[in-house]
Amino acid sequence: MGQRRLFLVFLILGVFVFAIVQCTQQEERKDSRGPTYAGSASCKNCHKDISGSITHNAHFNASRMVTKPNSADSLKLPDGEFIFNEHTKVGVKNLKDGLYQSALVNGQAMKTEHTDMVFGAGISAYTFAFWFGNKLMQMPLNYLTKEHQWVNSPGFPSDQIYFGRPIVARCLECHSSSVKQQLVKSGDFSVEEELVKGSLIAGIDCERCHGPAAQHVEFHEANPTVKNAAYMVSYKALALTRRIDMCGVCHSGTGIKTLTSTFAFKPGDTLKTLPQYNVYKGEDPDVHGKQKQLLEASLCYKVGKAECITCHDIHDNTKKSVQIYSNKCISCHKEVVHKTLPEKNASVLAKNCIDCHMPVKESHAIGFQISGSQKKILYRLRTHRIAVYDRLTGTSEGGVKN
């Protein structure tokens, strides 16, 4: 009788402990996207190497919150100023509690805002935002990391300080993993979009690309010996077009218009079901944000079926060199002979296919105004239209002007 009672006590304690663990894990996994999402922290238990790498790469750092003291220090940004004219300037200051931008008129600070969020991994530039009530607003200045300059934000007035551009949910669909929005009545016949602050998940996390993972995590925690991924869509099993569509959600430009948020787009979905999605029709898309259309224009895609992950491992945070990318080209083009290439340039073939076949081009959509000038630094990006370019005529093999 005593042994049975002792067994019952241990059984009850075991159930109690199990219940506490389950509740604790569910609390830790609480995700603003809902109970089907586990949160990226849950991925670390089984995917330590990938999780350790991805936290440093450009996708994961597409945006981040910098609301805590010293959280902006890792950006290593200098104080500075931007001059519109002798009376009007924007000053940037690193203070103990964060990074500030101030509107200075005749030396007096007329408006000062604290940086609450930063966009960009810092490879080319940073964009900054602050909370104004339940609206996220873009700050006047960007920082160009290669040029080491504070510049006027793209599209902002060239002759005055501007704190009035809202960063809406549509912007965040490509620069974060989730945010909830609400429409608030602002007049008799109009509404304004506001964001739910606590719902914003900065950066592109695991579940933004792989889909909701709560069921997957629960299954594998209960069945640790099972190595085949359960309750997750396998990218390898998807058709080529569906694989690049997942990247194309954000890398097709701002022309995509949907009836619902693209946050709901999951592996296996297709962009062709989205209203006003424009497939490639022979034009030469802008190099900013339209990598999918540019790739679709390439023979490497049309004939060889090259795709995004042929060259890009988004789990990796290693900075790739031109030679590393060129090795990808050579793996498929071993027999190519460049008959017209001058002999003195032949050594380039072994380590640099990219600069000729994927040249850096200027974006027509984005430019950064220089302090004290009306001149702009145009955003320069490598085109993803892989082609044979004629540097003399400025055209590619297909006749598209470059």
Band (106; pLDDT cuts 50, 70, 90): very high
Strand 135-138 versus strand 141-144 pairing type: unpaired
- Helix, strand or coil, per DSSP, at residue 28: helix
293-336: pLDDT as tens digits: 999 999 999 988 899 999 998 888 888 889 899 989 988 888 87
Predicted confidence (pLDDT) at residue 121 exceeds the cutoff of 80: yes
Residue 192: how many CB atoms within 10 A of its CB? 14
* 79 contacts 92 by C-beta, under 8 angstroms: yes
Percent of the chain with pLDDT over 70: 85
Nearest 5°: phi and psi at 353?
A: -85, -30
Which residues in 294-317 are b (16+ Cβ under 10 Å) and which e? Answer: bbbbbebbeeeebbbebbeebbeb
Query: Which residues share a beta bridge with 85?
Result: none
| Mean pLDDT across 214-220 | 96
Query: Which residues share a beta bridge with 63?
Result: 119
Note the pLDDT of residue 5.
63
Note the pLDDT of residue 19.
47
Note the pLDDT of residue 300.
93
DSSP code, position 23: H
319 or 356: which carries more pLDDT confidence?
Answer: 356
143 or 337: which carries more pLDDT confidence?
Answer: 143
H-only helix segments in 123-225: 169-175, 206-210, 214-222
The domain locations on the chain are 61-202, 280-396
Predicted confidence (pLDDT) at residue 272 exceeds the cutoff of 50: yes
| Mean pLDDT across 170-186 | 92
Note the pLDDT of residue 133.
95
384-396: pLDDT as tens digits: 999 988 764 445 5
Note the pLDDT of residue 12.
58
Tell me the torsion sign for CA atoms 209, 210, 215, 217. negative
Q: What is the mean pLDDT of the chain?
A: 86
Distance between CA atoms of 295 and 292, rounded to whole angstroms? Answer: 5
| Mean pLDDT across 268-291 | 76
Burial environment of residue 385 by CB neighbours within 10 A (0 to 12, 13 to 18, 19 or more):
buried
SS3 content of the chain, % helix, strand, coil (to 5): 30, 25, 45
- The alpha-carbon radius of gyration of the chain (Å, integer) is 25
| Mean pLDDT across 359-370 | 93
Note the pLDDT of residue 314.
87
> Contacts by 142-149 with C-beta closer than 8 Å and gap 24+?
142/368, 143/77, 144/368, 144/377, 147/377, 148/78, 149/368, 149/370, 149/371, 149/377
H-only helix segments in 29-149: 48-54
User: Which of 292, 297, 293, 360 is closest to 325 using CA atoms?
Assistant: 360
Distance between CA atoms of 216 and 228, rounded to whole angstroms? Answer: 11
Place of tokens 């159930």: 15
70-74, 204-208, 284-288, 393-397, range with greatest mean pLDDT: 204-208
Distance between CA atoms of 377 and 332, rounded to whole angstroms? Answer: 36
| Mean pLDDT across 158-178 | 95
- Helix, strand or coil, per DSSP, at residue 391: coil
19-48: pLDDT as tens digits: 444 444 444 557 999 999 999 899 988 998
